[in-house]
């Protein structure tokens, strides 16, 4: 025991800065910039980073009118589940868990549909499946849950994703409402129609009709440009399905590979003619709100060590996740609170973030959040958002993750950190920070380290 104590003391003496003793000429003290001393709060070994090696989505189509109106939800999910393993060469049997975010379908039914989708995609019965529901953030929550499970050592490889068919499962309240809500205003506000919360945000924070319509015009213009230039091709998995003629019942086989809610010619003049939907004297219209949509997405995660062993390129690194609560009556402000929380958890500053994917549930809340955080418009929803693309509730978080990571890859090493964020019904917000896979190495810091106290973050 005494010898062990002496050895520890010798080691500590070597770590102390030189004072009285003359330093060896060729030994220079410097700040270690690897692993858990990194200024973005890395607390694990570089090889233990949780990374994304594949992220794909279906096209997003208008509910009841679009390309997936006659597609079963499980047939919507299966193609993206198949894609993340086929395109990486990962054996389906290696997947430790599949977690799918979904909102509107009855829980037990959707859980079975997701299990069925896994079988349709070629996964063996040994691979478990579960669903998660945190409303509009469910797809992102699924990705975060898988990342946490891998980090905890529950399994080495997992899939997080999302699924929503708003054609099959429209938004509705089932059963009676607990009369106790009359005594609790916050509980009452959980029942507010989402459009009313949009009106509340617009009124409380001074977001006018013109601002909202301008945001919608920009969303459609950017999405149209991205689609026309093939910007989405790397992230979209074509889906073979059918379209049924409602009048004749005739079926036509089709392949859906493009988002069908984008309106390239959208103008302020057109949007200004639309009537408000939720409040006669309000500002929220169908044109400056997200579209009701069908879609699915899947993200394949594993430890960096596993990716290297399999010789798989890293698309992105999962750095942090935060879910927060806000006033239910203005639930749309969630990203303005969640984004700073996620950035702080990653050990970063808002100025470090190069790209933002913020769900455009409503133009009112999207505009408020971007302005409240002082975000550079050139960094936010560069390929459009939910007002143009659509918002399949449970899939949106995973869809945004795929869109963000593929865009970051296209932009190269100058685009290092990105954020996915959204508001959540009943008054919450969620956000996750990702680092571009090609932008880092074991010795790369986000910024210069100001001082070195010779202790790792874990030692504090």
Give residue-wise pLDDT tens across range 159-191: 999 999 999 998 888 889 999 999 999 999 999
- What are the CA-CA distances from residue 41 to residues 200, 272, 315, 352 (Å)? 37, 47, 20, 14
Among 50, 48, 52, 49, which residue's Cα sits nearest to residue 298? Answer: 52
Which residue in this structure is represented by tokens 């455009």?
Answer: 360
Assign 165 to helix, strand or coil: strand
Domains and CATH numbers, the chain: 29-34+46-170+188-435 (3.40.47.10)
As given in the structure block, the two tokens for residue 89 are 């060469």
CA distance 3 to 26: 30
Confidence of residue 414 (pLDDT cuts 50, 70, 90): confident
- Average pLDDT of the segment spanning 137-157: 98
Among 115, 146, 195, 223, which residue's Cα sits nearest to residue 361? Answer: 195
* % the chain with pLDDT above 70: 85
pLDDT digits (tens, 9 = 90+) for 344-361: 999 999 999 999 999 999
pLDDT at 23: 40
As given in the structure block, the two tokens for residue 112 are 């079975």
Question: Among all residues, which ones are annotated catalytic?
Answer: 136, 391, 423
Please name the residues in contact with 182: beta carbons below 8 A apart, sequence gap of 6 or more: 188
pLDDT at 173: 84
pLDDT at 449: 47
**pTM (2 decimals)?**
0.87
Counts of helices then strands in the chain (DSSP H, E) = 13, 12
Average pLDDT, the chain: 89
CA distance 420 to 434: 8
pLDDT at 174: 84
pLDDT digits (tens, 9 = 90+) for 357-384: 999 999 999 999 999 999 999 999 999 9
Kind of pairing between the strands at 355-358 and 417-424: parallel
Confidence of residue 4 (pLDDT cuts 50, 70, 90): low
């Amino acid at each position: 025991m005494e010898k062990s104590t002496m050895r520890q003391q010798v080691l500590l003496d070597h770590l102390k800065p030189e004072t009285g003793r003359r330093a060896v000429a060729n030994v220079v003290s410097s700040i270690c910039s690897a692993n858990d001393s990194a200024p973005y709060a890395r607390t694990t070994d570089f090889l233990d980073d949780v990374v994304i090696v594949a992220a794909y989505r279906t096209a997003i189509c208008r509910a009841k009118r679009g390309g997936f109106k006659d597609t079963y939800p499980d047939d919507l999910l299966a193609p993206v589940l198949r894609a993340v393993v086929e395109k990486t060469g990962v054996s389906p049997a290696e997947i430790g868990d599949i977690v799918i975010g979904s909102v509107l379908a009855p829980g037990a039914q959707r859980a079975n549909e997701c299990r069925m989708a896994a079988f349709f995609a070629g996964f063996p019965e040994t691979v478990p499946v579960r669903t998660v529901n945190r409303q509009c953030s469910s797809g992102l929550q699924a990705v975060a849950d898988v990342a946490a499970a891998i980090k905890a050592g529950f399994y080495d490889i997992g899939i997080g994703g999302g699924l929503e068919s708003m054609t099959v499962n429209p938004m509705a309240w089932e059963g009676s409402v607990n009369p106790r809500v009359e005594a609790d205003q916050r509980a009452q506000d959980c029942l507010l129609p989402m459009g009313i919360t949009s009106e509340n945000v617009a009124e409380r924070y001074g977001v006018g009709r013109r601002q909202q319509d301008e945001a919608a015009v920009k969303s459609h213009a950017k999405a149209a440009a991205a689609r026309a230039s093939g910007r989405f091709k790397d992230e979209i998995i074509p889906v073979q399905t059918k379209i049924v003629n409602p009048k004749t019942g005739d079926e036509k086989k089709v392949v859906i590979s493009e988002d069908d809610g984008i309106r390239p010619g959208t103008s302020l003049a057109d949007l200004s003619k639309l009537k408000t939907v939720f409040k006669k004297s309000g500002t929220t219209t169908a044109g400056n709100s997200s579209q009701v949509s069908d879609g699915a997405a899947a993200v394949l995660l594993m430890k960096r060590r596993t990716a290297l062993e399999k010789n798989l390129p890293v698309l992105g690194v999962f750095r942090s996740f935060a879910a927060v609560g806000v006033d239910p009556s203005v639930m749309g402000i969630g990203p303005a609170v969640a984004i700073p929380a996620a950035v702080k958890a990653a050990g970063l500053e808002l100025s470090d973030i190069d790209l933002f994917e913020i769900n455009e549930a409503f133009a009112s809340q999207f505009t408020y959040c971007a302005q409240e955080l002082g975000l550079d418009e050139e960094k936010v929803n560069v390929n459009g958002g939910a007002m143009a693309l659509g918002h399949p509730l449970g899939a949106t978080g995973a869809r945004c993750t795929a869109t963000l990571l593929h865009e970051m890859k296209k932009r190269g090493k100058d685009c290092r950190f990105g954020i996915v964020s959204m508001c959540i019904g009943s008054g919450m917000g969620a956000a996750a920070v990702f680092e571009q896979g090609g932008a880092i190495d074991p010795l790369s810091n986000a910024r210069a380290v100001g001082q070195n106290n010779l202790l790792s973050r874990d030692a504090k």
